[in-house]
Amino acid sequence: MPSRRKTTMFASAFFTCICSFVIICVVLATQHWMSSEVRFSGTNSSITVSLTYGLFSGTCEQFVDVGLQVSERTFQVADNLSNTKAKSMIVAIIVILVLSLLSSLLSSGFTCTNAVSNPYQTFLGPTGVYTWNSLCGIFILIAMILFPVNIEENGLSVELAYGCFSFLQTYIKSEHTYGYSYWIMLLIIFLNITSIIIIYFYDHARYSKKKEQERPIENAPKDVILF
């Protein structure tokens, strides 16, 4: 059976890993990644398309300067994209987040195993926790970089606006606001770092204690050594 200190430390790391897993599920499920206002020039007036979307679905509505408002519509992101590059990047982000989800799940399994037992394999101990938490954090960071790139380089919001309302004419400009589904990914990275720090402190303390046990004579009183 593991010591009380080990159980406490790994149980704490398990809690952070589970929180990370749950938040990744929320990130994938919600559609509050981006809110955009995209303006187009019409025949006699300008048209603004308001979009709120995530990786899978979103909503859009149209406003005309004269005061006319088209009712809100729900759309599927993949169906509204004609730009192959933008669609491919959305798929890549989803795959990366699924990989981070699996990494978080494995990290949760490793920390739970160490909290209740002492596995013989080295990789099942702190090394495994470091690996899977690091991979999860890296995957999340890549997803956070790719999404803005898709917005700016591939005109994701503009593509989705055209997909919602095919009669739109000349694109003028757009304004973007990142939603909570995007920003809470920073919390996932923080939780992964926290897990690594917790296990590092445990591993460092265990290593120091092991070194002390290997060299007991160095800590013995001088009179005992002379005797």
80-116 pLDDT, tens digit each: 888 889 999 999 999 999 999 999 999 999 898 888 8
Whether residue 166 is contained in a domain is answered as yes
C-alpha to C-alpha distance for 205 and 126, rounded to whole angstroms: 12
Whether residue 103 is contained in a domain is answered as yes
Whether residue 196 is contained in a domain is answered as yes
The pLDDT of residue 54 is 93
Return the CATH number at 72: 1.20.140.150
The pLDDT of residue 224 is 46
Q: What is the pLDDT along the chain (227 residues), one digit of tens a residue?
A: 667 778 888 899 999 999 999 999 999 999 999 999 999 886 677 888 899 999 999 999 888 875 566 668 898 998 888 888 999 999 999 999 999 999 999 999 989 888 888 876 677 788 888 999 999 999 999 999 999 999 999 889 999 988 888 777 788 888 999 999 999 999 999 999 999 999 888 877 665 566 556 665 555 555 544 44
Q: Work out how many domains the chain is built from and give that number.
A: 1
The pLDDT of residue 187 is 96
The pLDDT of residue 46 is 82
Whether residue 123 is contained in a domain is answered as yes
C-alpha to C-alpha distance for 51 and 156, rounded to whole angstroms: 11
C-alpha to C-alpha distance for 62 and 175, rounded to whole angstroms: 15
Whether residue 29 is contained in a domain is answered as yes
Residues 143/96, Cβ–Cβ less than 8 Å: yes
Whether residue 146 is contained in a domain is answered as yes
The pLDDT of residue 227 is 41
Quote the pTM value.
0.85
The pLDDT of residue 117 is 83
In this structure, which amino acid lies at residue 183?
W
The pLDDT of residue 225 is 45
What is the C-alpha R_g of the chain? 26
Burial of 35 per CB tally in 10 Å (0-12, 13-18, 19+)? middle
Range of the domain at 180: 4-202
Whether residue 223 is contained in a domain is answered as no
Whether residue 208 is contained in a domain is answered as no
Write down the residue that tokens 């982000």 correspond to. 93
Residues 63/50, Cβ–Cβ less than 8 Å: yes
C-alpha to C-alpha distance for 14 and 115, rounded to whole angstroms: 8
Residues 158/42, Cβ–Cβ less than 8 Å: no
C-alpha to C-alpha distance for 100 and 107, rounded to whole angstroms: 10
The pLDDT of residue 168 is 77
